Amino acid sequence: MNIRHVALIMDGNGRWARQKGLPRIEGHRQGVKKVNEAIDTAIELGLQAVTFYTFSTENWKRPSTEVKALMRLLATYLKSEMQRLHSMNIVFRAVGDTRKLPQNVQDLLHDFEKLTRNNTGLILASALNYGSRLEILHALKQIVRDNVPAKDIDEKLFSSYLYTNGIPDPDLIVRTSGEMRLSNFLLWQAAYSEFYFTETLWPDFGREEFISAVREFEGRERRFGALSTRATG
Please say whether the beta carbons of 48 and 168 come within 8 A. yes
Q: Which residues are catalytic?
A: 11, 59
The whole-angstrom separation of Cα 32 and Cα 138 is 29
Contacts of 116 (CB under 8 A, 6+ apart): 85, 86, 90, 91, 92
